[in-house]
């Protein structure tokens, strides 16, 4: 049995991915609920890393932790730390890890309706992240 073709709670997986990104000090973490608008995934997660080693650390910990917690491996993984953009496809959750300049240049957030944002981390100068609506 392929370890990415399993029944998984997409919301639980998305929340877990957010937690891992924040534990690894990712910045500007944004989670979109696209269940009603996308056939590719239920959730899209975007986060910013500040260096190539930081991109590698976030992506490596996502892979290890999601495999341990959910028994899932990414269906696909594109890019690497040197490309400054890693995409990890877990089927129901797609994670984008981008270096800051790359994220600003491609402005990936503009692909999705801002009303679909269900979580946004607090700016660095604010103590705690706040959900936009029930998360």
Tens digits of per-residue pLDDT, 51-67? Answer: 999 999 999 999 999 99
Are the C-beta atoms of residues 80 and 49 closer than 8 Å to each other?
no
Q: What are the structural domains, with CATH classification, of the chain? A: 10-123 (3.30.460.10)
Number of Cβ within a 10 Å radius of residue 103:
21
Are the C-beta atoms of residues 24 and 124 closer than 8 Å to each other?
no
Rounded to two decimals, the pTM is 0.86
pLDDT of residue 132: 45
Question: Order of strands, edge to edge, in the sheet holding 43-49?
Answer: 76-78, 85-89, 93-99, 43-49, 27-33, 117-120, 130-131
pLDDT of residue 1: 41
Q: Which helix (H) or strand (E) holds 120?
A: strand 117-120
């Amino acid at each position: 049995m392929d370890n990415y073709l399993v029944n998984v709670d997409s919301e639980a997986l998305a929340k877990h991915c957010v937690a891992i990104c924040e534990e690894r000090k990712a910045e500007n973490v944004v989670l979109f609920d696209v269940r009603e608008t996308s056939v590719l995934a239920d959730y899209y997660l975007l986060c910013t890393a500040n260096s190539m080693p930081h991109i590698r650390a976030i992506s490596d910990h996502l892979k290890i932790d999601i495999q341990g917690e959910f028994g899932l491996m990414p269906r696909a993984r594109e890019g690497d730390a040197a490309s400054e953009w890693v995409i990890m496809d877990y089927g129901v959750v797609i994670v984008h890890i981008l270096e800051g300049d790359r994220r600003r240049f491609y402005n990936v957030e503009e692909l999705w309706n801002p009303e679909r944002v269900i979580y946004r981390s607090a700016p660095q100068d604010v103590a705690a992240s706040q959900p936009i609506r029930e998360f």
